[in-house]
Amino acid sequence: MQLNIGTGFAAVIDWLLANVGWFFDGVSAVVQFLVGNVENVLVGLHPFLIIAVLAAAAAGLTRSLGLTVYTILAFLLIVGMGLWVQSMSTLAVVLVSVVFSLAIGIPLGIWAALNGTVSKVVRPVLDLMQAMPVFVYLIPAVFFFGVGMVPGIAATIVFAIPPAVRLTELGIRKLDLELLEAATAFGAKKGLILKDVQLPLAFPSIMAGVNQVIMLALSMVVVAGLVGAGGLGGVVVEGVAQLDTARGFEGGLAVVILAIYLDRVTSGSTSFGEVLRSRKVRKEQLAAAKTPAPAVAV
């Protein structure tokens, strides 16, 4: 006896294409619009201006002179290799993919942290998503959206969601119960506790999830190039197809430069957020200390 699970999956794909094809057409139009606009901004502005903005972001978020110098030199190297347009195209795809992944993953992680049933249902689904080979995601994506940039982005979004869900849930669940009990004792409602206590304290874990989402999105760049996503993935695939070692190496080096920059900046954002929170706490403590104590009636 043989179970034709793949046949059932194919039947589901065919049914979706026949009945809700309009939905996938709409998603494709929205994604192309967003990526096109982001790419137009990144490519339309002068490379030196973009490099200055990226270096300023690195300096402001990480306060690292080394990373700032790396940003300038590394992106000038990309310009020198003639891969600036492809790199900005890849950056646009990564940014849009990450935004969609976080928009789905973080709220789902919060829901799972606050609801045990949701957590039990989501956990095996996330296990399946992380264990599935990345090429498998491209199969339904190509069926739904055709060949091009959109199926690559769709596969990237699905592939990158799990870390955002897991690390958001972990960050909220690992909080000290005494803090939550104290907030509840002061009469704070659940929504206020989530906004002012749980999410700020879970920020480092959430940012770690953001970092992992970005890294997974970049790891899909080359794979997405196989379905015509373009960008640096297309450069690497072209180098492999034509046995052009030099071109493939340059495309891969540009991907590494983007990966190092985004990894260091998002990692530095975690410590930057902690600095801002500590400053806020100190200001509140100073304000409380300056507030005159109420007079006691004799």
Among the CATH numbers 3.30.450.20, 1.10.10.60, 1.10.150.650, 1.10.3720.10, which is that of 37-270?
1.10.3720.10
- Give residue 261's pLDDT: 92
Q: What is the DSSP letter of 195?
A: I
- Give residue 292's pLDDT: 59
- Give residue 54's pLDDT: 92
- Give residue 235's pLDDT: 85
Amino acid at 60: G
- Give residue 185's pLDDT: 73
Domain ranges for the chain, please list them.
37-270
Residues of the chain with pLDDT under 70: 1-3, 177, 179-181, 183, 186-188, 269-298
- Give residue 217's pLDDT: 87
Within 8 A by CB and 6+ apart from 122, the residues are 108, 112, 165
User: Angle at Cα 268 formed by Cα 250 and Cα 166, nearest 5°?
Assistant: 90
- Give residue 298's pLDDT: 47
pTM for the model: 0.81
Question: Which of 209, 180, 178, 256 is closest to 103 using CA atoms?
Answer: 209
Taking the chain, what is the end-to-end CA distance rounded to the nearest angstrom?
91
Taking CB atoms within 8 Å and a gap of at least 24, the contacts of 133-142 are 134/159, 134/219, 134/220, 134/223, 135/223, 138/223, 138/224, 138/226, 138/227, 140/13, 141/227, 142/227
- Give residue 281's pLDDT: 52
